[in-house]
Amino acid sequence: MDNIKIIENGSVTTPAGFKASGVTAGLKKSGNPDMALVFSEKPCRFGAAFTSCTFAAAPVQISRQHAENSEFVQAMIINSGNANACTGKKGLENVEKMCGQVAGLLGITPDAVMVASTGRIGVQMPMDIIEKGIALACPALTSDGGETAARAIMTTDTVPKHVAAEIAIDGKTVRLGAMTKGVGMIDPKLNAVPHATMICVVTTDAEVGNSALAGMMPECTADSFNRITVDGDMSTNDTVLVMANGASGVKVVPGSSGEKLFRSALLKVMQILARKMVMDGEGATKFIEVSVVNAADVDTAKLCAEAVANSLLCKTAWFGCDPNWGRVIAAVGYSGAKFDPDKVNVFYNRRPVVKNGGDAGTPEAELALELKGRELKVTIELNNGSSSYWVWTSDISYEYVKINAEYHT
């Protein structure tokens, strides 16, 4: 949309009233930054979404409680290098300690602190290192610390992922900033309250109510983070938090054109970050959009799109630039969707691959050329309705196996 301006090199500290930091506590053997803190000078209304994995990590459980019971949040502390998942009562107690320490140093209440963690599962938090990191992160907060914070939450990511956007509501400027991490163990199915890892923080200086944000979260996550998959594995720690501090003096009124524009901007920054995650997928060489169209209903289209996007045979064929369309239609066929196979067409970009359930006749060499690009669109026409669904995914390379075989467990 032309009325949503993307701010070059923008981050979570682009909106007014936000500070961030990224520090090295010592969780990573590499010595790279491993703890980030995002803080608002004013209490924030908020919206949140978390993993639907039954083995939800301790920080997810505590943050979910805060989301359900608090009117405001003001800070989010994030560590990489330890997931604090499957750590029992002690893991929960350690999250509470993190909230208490952050709150004490920033002069806020513990229930205004959200926590997110990423890294190895099943290992207790080394609280001496965590406490050191928090003690470093709080005084390091700056109004230009967004990029540093984005680097500190990286695990197997190769680049930091952050963005900011600007819109005008009632003639006044409103800004949104965001950062995320995650390039492996990526197949989020986020549930909005009250319902390797992706962690996302969105900040805005607009004044937006909790109920309004709660209404936006399911739609925005459904059309961004829940539409991506790198390897089909959902994390125990997936977390998305939107913080709105109202520092711009602009109120987003429910039902207004301003609310519609703000919702569009929120979706846009989430989609930009979701795309960045797939582009940086572990060992990925290609970005693939799988689009199922002319389906009987959305559920049918979704079943087909996700089956193809998560198929290891499809993903390895794409890596090898092999136009083996049999793998695509096989995935559609076992997806559980109901359709007439004799009506199915498949395209690689705009080139016909399958027509009426059989070979479309395009020379294989021409199809192979379509797969040599950095991006590929696979379109599947079911031709039994008017519904559609898309998923963003990546290929699977030798490097993906290497990264995950050598990832220290």
Sole residue written with tokens 């669904």: 389
DSSP letter at 403 equals: H
Query: Which of 197, 216, 266 lies closest to 55 in space, CA to CA?
Result: 197
Distance CA(205)–CA(378), nearest Å, equals: 39
Distance CA(320)–CA(313), nearest Å, equals: 11
Radius of gyration (C-alpha) of the chain in whole angstroms: 22
Distance CA(269)–CA(5), nearest Å, equals: 11
The catalytic residue among 148, 197, 204, 393 is: 197
Q: Do the strands 387-394 and 345-348 form a parallel or antiparallel pair, or are they unpaired? A: unpaired
Amino acid at 53: C
Q: Are 147 and 20 in contact, with CB atoms under 8 Å apart?
A: no
Residue 409 among the catalytic residues: no
Packed helices 257-279 and 210-222: angle between N→C axes, nearest 10 degrees: 40
- Cβ-count burial of 211 within 10 angstroms (0-12 exposed, 13-18 middle, 19+ buried)? exposed
Distance CA(156)–CA(196), nearest Å, equals: 8
DSSP letter at 7 equals: P
Distance CA(280)–CA(230), nearest Å, equals: 9
Q: How many CA atoms lie within 13 A of 90 on its CB side?
A: 8
Query: Which of 255, 140, 240 lies closest to 190 in space, CA to CA?
Result: 240
* CA dist list (Å): 65 to 69, 118, 195, 215, 357: 6, 19, 11, 19, 50
Token pair belonging to 113: 């602190």
Q: Which residues are catalytic?
A: 197
